[in-house]
Amino acid sequence: MMKFDGIVAFVAVAEADSISAASRRLGLAKSVVSERLAELERTLGATLVQRSTRRLSLTNSGQTFLPRAQSILREAEEATAELAARSGRLSGPLRLSAPVGFGILHLGPALSSFLRDYPEIEVSLELDDGFVDAASGGFDAVLRHGTVGDGRLIARRLATSRRLLVASPEYLERVGTPSSLTQLERHRGILYANRSGDWRFAAPTGWSVIRPKPALRVNNGLVMRDAAAAGLGIALLPSFFVHDALASGALKEIDIGVEAEGAELFLAYPKDHGAAARIRALGDSLRRSFGDPPYWER
């Protein structure tokens, strides 16, 4: 009979690309992980992992079995979560990914509050400004700000945020403050590298697109904020990045008579996680922590 701990060992090895890394992840000795994997292979009558001194790779049988094995583990986790929810207790792992800047500024206190309420949930958080595929990236849920156009995912809105044009007082004194879309286009922009450099504004005739001359392209909102504060140019940033800098006077908001395209914060997760009690609890907790309207918009 196939043992559940063998499936756990195989999935950990496959996802970590290493027996050593899998053993650390599971908190087991390497010999135990190796034996459980070997026992699973004997039960299945197939070699799942090709081992060598330099690297580890999945065989064709391993590649075929992996998605089924991952599905088995997800189903077991969901069943455990549902039973825990019915008994008034939530527990189990919760793997999250979030953008670096937002995570640094806002997720620490919010997750602390969540974990105080649900101390038996084990959160693993990875901060990454690159695109993270919530459907196949090994995460239970991904925090995103912006549209989630993926039919494989459920997207739950957590909060809203305006995008604001900001620059340092020194820059505006030196170069001048734009008051229209035409004037804005003549300025230098600090652009987010992981999306189009276009700035979209809701003009009376529809969306107007501005393409400023780039002073800097970078894939991190905090670096963009600091570059704007240093006087390098104008940045278009969500309010959750700049609310403190606006309050302190390090940055000034620029009013050109039209509003920029807004940003919404979503918790996105695969559809087969839609009934997960711990993900729903996380979403509810984050919404309470951020507020409605969120505290960065007050």
Note the pLDDT tens digit of each residue in 64-80: 999 999 888 878 877 77
Note the pLDDT tens digit of each residue in 200-256: 998 778 888 988 889 999 989 999 999 999 999 999 999 999 999 999 999 999 999
Q: What's the CATH class of domain 4-80?
A: mainly alpha
Note the pLDDT tens digit of each residue in 161-213: 999 999 999 999 999 999 999 999 999 999 998 766 679 998 778 888 988 88
What is the chain's mean pLDDT, rounded?
87
Residue 47 or 263, more confident: 47
Whether domain 163-261 has CATH 3.90.1010.10: no
The CATH number corresponding to 90-161+270-297 among 3.40.50.410, 3.40.50.1110, 3.40.50.300, 3.40.190.10 equals 3.40.190.10
Q: For residue 208, what are the contacts with CB-CB under 8 A and spacing of at least 6?
A: 181, 200, 201, 202, 258
Q: For residue 216, what are the contacts with CB-CB under 8 A and spacing of at least 6?
A: 190, 191, 224, 227, 232, 233
191 torsion bin: left (phi>0), alpha (psi -120 to 50), beta (else): beta
Domain ranges (residues) in the chain: 4-80, 90-161+270-297, 163-261
d(CA 264, CA 24): 37
Domains 4-80 and 163-261 share a fold: no
Query: Using omega within 30 degrees of 0 as the cis cutoff, is the peptide bond preceding 238 cis?
Result: no
